[in-house]
Amino acid sequence: MTRARIATLHRSLAPLALLACMALAATSASADEYDAHRAGHPLRLVAYALHPVGVALDWLIFRPAHWAGSQPAFAFLFGHDIDEEPQR
């Protein structure tokens, strides 16, 4: 085999080896312990349905609106102030 062919073989096998290592290193996932008292509440069922809607609104409307309002040209107009320590 030529050196170029060996180098090509190594470049093509490296991603496969990395993928195999990642698959072997994965741990099994487990769900939270089921609490019938908390999970069966009617408002919890509504929350399960509405949570994806809230996340979509956050990413599609509120984050872009915050970005636009925080631009230097509009910061004074919208009253945007830089928070030194954002809340977590």
* Per-residue model confidence as pLDDT tens for the chain (88 residues): 677 777 776 677 777 777 777 777 767 777 778 777 777 788 888 998 999 999 999 999 999 999 999 898 888 888 888 777 766 6
Q: What is the CA radius of gyration of the chain?
A: 25
Tokens of 31: 């769900």
**Residue in this structure with the two tokens 């312990």, named with its chain if needed:** 33
Question: What is the pTM assigned to this prediction?
Answer: 0.48
DSSP assignment, residue 84? S
Backbone angles phi, psi at 31, to 5 degrees: -80, 165
Domain limits, the chain: 3-25+38-78
